[in-house]
Amino acid sequence: MFSDSRVFATVAVSDITKGKEFYGTKLGLQQVDENPGGVTYESGGGRLFIYQSPTAGSGQATCAAWEVSNISEVVQELVAKGITFEHYDFPGGTRDGDIHIMGPMKAAWFKDPDGNILSVAG
């Protein structure tokens, strides 16, 4: 049923202006639409939609992730923009600075201003 449909991430924010500042300016996503329902960004052929909601930041799991070619470089760029990374304990995993290593997978997690959990992986 959905195998031919493109999936996109949706993220609730408490303030659409602050959300646009974070996702558009800090993360550098390209805005492609804005309407009364929210703002859509394009990223690597995919889409991310932010919308204002009183439940913003209430999730306890990753809501959006970006696959990157050089995770160390991306983490350094985000740190330079004032983004702080989260540290978790994963069974069998190790950590090199802010980057978690789980077998062949490397990932780093951070939060938006509302506490929504985001990640980069490479």
Domain edges within the chain: 9-121
**Predicted pLDDT of residue 46:** 94
Q: Check: CB of residue 13 under 8 Å from CB of residue 19.
A: yes
At 12-52, the pLDDT tens digits run: 999 999 999 999 999 999 999 999 999 999 999 999 999 99
Could you report how far apart the first and last alpha carbons of the chain are, in Å?
29
Nearest residue to 76 via CA among 93, 48, 98: 98
- Alpha-carbon dihedral 12, 17, 20, 26, rounded to 10 degrees: -110
Q: Which fold has domain 9-121?
A: 2,3-Dihydroxybiphenyl 1,2-Dioxygenase; domain 1 (3.10.180)
